[in-house]
Amino acid sequence: MKKNLHTISPKGVHIILDLYECSNISILNSSEKIEKILKNSVKKANATLIDIKVHKFSPYGVSGFALISESHISIHTWPEKKYVGVDIYTCGDKTLPELAADFFIKTLKSKKPTIVKIERGIYAEKF
């Protein structure tokens, strides 16, 4: 059976951040501060928070996940490397994932951020 693909509007935006040389180690190793940053990033993205889970590793590192109606925002920190990985995946046309990305970069004081933006769900199969 032959499949034809046609272009449609993106269903979501996925922003992947690699934040290098983050200068405030106390933030990167605090589950309370990371949880607060996640909550504020959801607001910046104009998204709807469902739940947040944060886990502190020993001796270093924090992982956090914000489940939002529009998808998710996650963060993983390596304080000893001054590195943070962030995923911001939002769907719909009311969200502002770029503002959340800027918020993470500024709040975590990354001197060398890298940003990858992927439009998700651009193609749909038509049978």
pLDDT of residue 21: 98
Distance separating alpha carbons of residues 86 and 74, to the nearest angstrom? 6
Contact in structure between 28 and 65 (CB atoms under 8 Å): no
Distance separating alpha carbons of residues 18 and 113, to the nearest angstrom? 6
**Residue from 71, 72, 74, 110 carrying the catalytic annotation:** 71
Annotated catalytic residue 71: yes
Q: Considering the entire predicted model, what is its pTM?
A: 0.88
Distance separating alpha carbons of residues 89 and 79, to the nearest angstrom? 24
Annotated catalytic residue 91: yes
pLDDT tens, per residue, the chain with 127 residues:
555 555 566 689 999 999 999 998 889 999 999 999 999 999 999 999 999 999 999 999 999 999 999 999 999 999 999 999 999 999 988 999 999 999 999 999 999 999 999 998 876 555 4
Can you give the length of the chain in residues?
127
Annotated catalytic residue 22: no
ω into 10 cis (within 30 of 0): no
**Residue from 22, 30, 41, 91 carrying the catalytic annotation:** 91
pLDDT of residue 25: 87
The domain 4-126: what is its CATH number? 3.60.90.10
Please give the angle made by the CA atoms of 51, 70 and 3, to the nearest 5 degrees: 135
pLDDT of residue 127: 46
pLDDT of residue 124: 57
pLDDT of residue 98: 97
DSSP 3-state of 76: strand
Cα four-point dihedral sign 8, 13, 16, 21: positive
Distance separating alpha carbons of residues 102 and 105, to the nearest angstrom? 5
